[in-house]
Structure 1
Amino acid sequence: MVKKQNKIPKKEINLANTHVPDKVYAYSLQVKHALYELQKCSGDDMVSVEVLEDVAIQKSDGTVKAIQLKNVSSKHNPISNRAKDLWKTLSNWLLAVNSKELDVNSTKFILFVTADRSGSIVDSFNKATTFEESQKVWDEARKEFYHESGEEKETPEDYVFYIRHFFNPANKLLASKIIGNFSLSTINVNYTALLFEAFCERAMVEEELGDVLFKYMLGWIEKKVSELVENKKPMCIAYQEYKTELMAIRREYNQKLSLKELAPRPTEQEVQNEMNALRRYLEQLDIVECDYTEKIEAINDYLRASTNRTIWAKRGDISDGSLTSYQETLIKKWDTKRKILSLKNKSLNLSPEELGKLLYLECKDEPVNIDHLYVPDFFTAGCYHALSDDVIIGWHPHYKDIFMPGSGFNVQLK
């Protein structure tokens, strides 16, 4: 838990403060995590790579999240009590605070480990929520490396400098403040899988577009930071820029995954010929008391769906299998709605004609796509009319008795 921060003016990033920007190409984890953090941003937030930290977020209110990433691909534990990685990170944060690169009062110091790891000292730092608790856990942690007399315990040379720096009594105040604003994040799943799931959820990406958009945005971020390095600029991506790009690529792929109307619209003569042909789907509408305008609309939907369906099949845009599956889906939806309305009608007490028209309007009003392909508005209604023309479905509760051969029921169009 991190203590509540006071708002401060947003700080400009100085290129001179960047951490080895020429090495960005080797830091795929930073690029991935930049995408992870961008999902949680809003407003004028900005995410940077290898500027203030491995990844950093400058919030609209001026606060900063400085994130140090630890990629663990073996049994190595980068946050054990005597892990060099841990003390190097804490010492570097202290250096950044002393040099005014990071404001200790407005920065959240986050250690993100891509594995399920722990350590008693880092866990105690993570649990400290007040300044008093932070000072206490600093004192306790110091005992790992110093005797009560103050004499230094044996510590490996490769990280003894970090220990001396972080546990120097002169640095206790700032070190304790860092601990107070410190948090630890670990995961016990594959990081790429976690990132993909977060991307799809937070960006509200359709399942069928998730993989392609995820790869695109990851590549876009990598390209963006590479261009910034080449132009000797800080590797910063504004959330609004990211949001604009995501919306644009979503729109582009959605258009690619939409079936376009390719056939010309029916002429007035073709519509009139269809009306005069006394088609069964029109009779189905007639017995639920649809008016002339509704039947004209139905004819247009039926003819447009029929001609475009033929063209799409010839072009290979849709397969016979997908059309069969689509037809089965429509029948299931029609049957479900029919049963629901039948139950509701016990209290509504609608006439058979009213119930039938309500069923027709509800089916017509709900678009149904073909697998991952978006269909034009007229297509679903037109396909329902094709099914009703074959009396596979019907709108009137007693449509089978009315239209089945030998029923003796004679329907006259109005």
Structure 2
Amino acid sequence: MTEDISPFAATASAMGYLYQLRIALLRCTDLLEGGASWTVALEAGDDIECVQDGKTGLWQLKHRAEGTRITDGTSDLWKSLRVWAVAATAGAIDLDTADLFLLTTAEAAPSSAAVHLSSAPDDRRDPAEAHRLLKEARKAARARQQKKIEANPDTTAKPSELYQAWDTLGEPEQLRLLERVQILHSAEDIHATGTRLQGRAAIAVGRQYATSFLERLEGWFFQRAIAQMGTSAGPVTGIEFDEAFSSRRDQFRPDSLPIDDDVIKLPDESRIHSDKTFVRQLGLAGIGSARVRIAVRDWLRASTQRDRWSNENLLRPGEIDIYERRLTEEWEVRFEAMRDDLGEQAAEEAMAVAAKALYRWVEQEARYSIRPGCEEPFVTTGSFHMLAEGLDVGWHPQYAARLMTLLEPAGSRS
């Protein structure tokens, strides 16, 4: 690995990793079109390893700046050949069943080995000619090394590791390897790959929701890839990917809304929000600390998810207002029935018991979906707490009067 740690090198390295993830995700969508009997792994046998129907596809990826060319002496080409030659020598790959891909954004120089190893219609695939050109390039590299030795006779010059594995293979094995190689040059860069994924997303959920859907699919895939590269999980399977793709696609149906994994995993912040009005409402009703913590969790989830829906334009005009009106009206029927049952002269203990019963309805029974396919309970319970924050609903029979007094600025009570 290079010792260059400048910001420019770091940026290029990060771009390369992101490119690898996006290409892997694109490969998954490609493979899914043919069924679900496949696996995709990153940094396993190669940058990307795809296994389908008993055949293995090993992918080397090179994301290079615009204008970069791949010639017979380019290190990108020889590094890929070294990886494959080492694997072939060790028996890690079977050249009868493995397809070897070098996908690079660089342009192949005319009449180069890369052109003769390409399967593009305009190129002239000829592995034997590519082998001849590579032998010439290797000969030129030896000549350059010999000149260095002659110029510095006291220096011990070691053979370049770039060529050692290739040199170890006999010529028949070199040609056999090249027959399995396909160089996909002038490939789309990371931005164009993103555009292609956007197009796949638009087919799945429509152009209006394509960006939101793709963000969620990429988020899942990137986390899944990290787990796989960290050896805590196996390769992504076709069945697994199909399920992840389909479940996220279904969240964008007209009768549903997406529930995001990171929202469900929000940390406990009950202490931070202890001064919220809805928390004080729970205190008036005599709700215990454990249930208050759950209430804060649901409020945080619902407010975060609803903000995200709004920011991504996933909600219909007036949809939240209609939903909150429904919640308020459902609460109002029960709240007024509670007040009637208590009467005007109810004792404090009776009011506390009634408040707890009303809040228990919110916790355990109130399940009003904002859309039929979006049934996550925290959307309902958290939305009730959002309404309680504005004193639009409450649990204690006298919540409004008591909290208005409690929240009134000290200077205005004269």
- The alignment's TM-score, normalised by the length of structure 1, stands at 0.50
- The alignment's TM-score, normalised by the length of structure 2, stands at 0.50
